[in-house]
Amino acid sequence: MRSRRVGGVKFETLAVHAALRPDAVTGAVAPPIHLSTTFARDEAGVPLGGHVYIRESNPTQDLLEEALRLLEGGETAFFFASGMAAGMAILASLPRGGKVLFPDDVYHGFRAAAAEVLPGWGLRAGFIPMDRLERLADALEGGASCVWLETPSNPLLKITDLRAAVELAHRAGALAVVDNTFATPVLQRPLDLGADAVLHAATKYFGGHSDLLGGAAIFARDGELSKKVLQMRTLGGGAGSPFNAWLVLRGLRTLPCRVERQTETAGRVAAFLASHPRVVEVLYPGLPGHPGHDIARKQMRGFGAMLSFRTAGGRDFALRTVGRARLFIRATSLGGVESLMEHRASSEGPDSTTPQDLIRLSIGLEHPEDLIEDLDQALA
């Protein structure tokens, strides 16, 4: 994988060194976890270390936010208790009466929020096939305050041309927010392509070990939007715990290494599935036949470690295949070291629009040959 140079060093180096400073008091190389909820002031009443109360800010979170800002190339970054908390704080910061245009296969949590929560906040929602920019352009003619982008998308792995979509949004006076959970800044940096904000479920690749819940919002500018989102986090109480901030920071150190290996393995798994007689379609932007392949090549450094495939024999055969997996664990979520497999329509529930014959894979760090062997026996 080609390496990207950011802030004077290669991205891999930045991931290790961002906000890495031996502790001034103890010399500890690994950062301490500050669990204190409250922070002392001097005789004049000035906070000794710049912090007052944990929900507003705390030292462990500060370190993580510095690293997040550098890795995504933004001016400011905020850690949240979850990806949903980060996304909902952004949505809650948009002006009332506006319209948000979501991808038609947006992460199902935001689809549910659009139906059940946003109307109460005075926000309307539209759902657009974002891989077809003419449809976005049409929708923008009706006015919108925000264009929400997710590429590769979940679970159909559709690709949106980020630079072009952001440009359309801006020309219409809308903000462009990108959920970059699937790609991570290792593969794609939306702020470099003009986006106003990037959202992450840190629960996924950032944490990387399926053992924490966290979210992040990173902003191109420290401005009106970011200030509102910070206020929303403080007043809505969406801050993450210091322990989880520390785990995410620890995860970021190995993020490039993990994502690159996982991506490489996903490419091999995709090629295997594409040649399998019981697979009718592989949804992976790394395959030359994928409709978003050329755009993905242009805006991503690699095609990611998520892929979906559709089996011959419909829902029953898909469920049977998932049931026969031995190494892949049957579970939702993604981005961990262990490979996961799920019948996505079942995970999403009765209002799912996902094809019933679709299986989604999150590729972990196992040896590719073992994963392929497992798929081969499960599909037999």
Ligand X SMILES: *Cc1c(COP(=O)(O)O)cnc(C)c1O
Minimum CB separation from ligand X for residue 84, in Å? 4
Q: Which residues in the 181-240 window bind ligand X by CB under 6 A?
A: 181-182, 201, 203-204, 213, 215
Of 336, 120, 313, 40, nearest to 209 by C-alpha is 336
Minimum CB separation from ligand X for residue 105, in Å? 10
Q: Which of 11, 107, 246, 303 binds ligand X (CB under 6 A)?
A: 107
- Which pairing describes strands 76-80 and 99-103: parallel, antiparallel, or unpaired? unpaired
Distance from C-alpha of 69 to C-alpha of 47, rounded to nearest angstrom: 24
* 309 contacts ligand X (rule: CB under 6 A): no
Q: Kindly report the backbone phi and psi dihedral angles of residue 128, in degrees, each rounded to the nearest multiple of 5, phi listed first.
A: -125, 140
Residue nearer to ligand X on the CB measure, 32 or 109: 109
Q: Mention every residue, 6+ apart, whose C-beta is less than 8 A from residue 223.
A: none
Residue nearer to ligand X on the CB measure, 79 or 107: 107
Amino acid identity, position 140:
L
Residue nearer to ligand X on the CB measure, 31 or 87: 87
Q: Which residues in the 145-174 window bind ligand X by CB under 6 A?
A: 150, 154
Report the first-to-last Cα separation within the chain, whole angstroms. 33
The residues carrying an active-site annotation are 55, 107, 179, 204
Q: Which residue is nearest to ligand X (CB)?
A: 83
Q: Which uninterrupted H or E stretch holds 271?
A: helix 255-274
Q: At what angle do helices 368-379 and 255-274 cross, to 10 degrees?
A: 40
Minimum CB separation from ligand X for residue 154, in Å? 5
Q: At what angle do helices 162-171 and 133-141 cross, to 10 degrees?
A: 10
Minimum CB separation from ligand X for residue 129, in Å? 17
Residue nearer to ligand X on the CB measure, 84 or 295: 84
Number of residues that bind ligand X (CB under 6 A): 15
Distance from C-alpha of 181 to C-alpha of 148, rounded to nearest angstrom: 13
Taking contact as CB under 6 A, which single stretch among the options 178-186, 252-260, 271-279, 354-362 is the one that binds ligand X?
Answer: 178-186
Tell me, rounded to whole angstroms, the distance of Cα 144 from its chain centroid: 23
Residue nearer to ligand X on the CB measure, 51 or 204: 204
280: left (phi over 0), alpha (psi -120 to 50) or beta: alpha
Minimum CB separation from ligand X for residue 226, in Å? 19
Minimum CB separation from ligand X for residue 242, in Å? 17
Distance from C-alpha of 154 to C-alpha of 141, rounded to nearest angstrom: 26
Q: Which residues in the 39-98 window bind ligand X by CB under 6 A?
A: 82-84
Residue nearer to ligand X on the CB measure, 84 or 172: 84
Q: Rule CB under 6 A: which residues touch ligand X?
A: 82-84, 107, 109, 150, 154, 179, 181-182, 201, 203-204, 213, 215
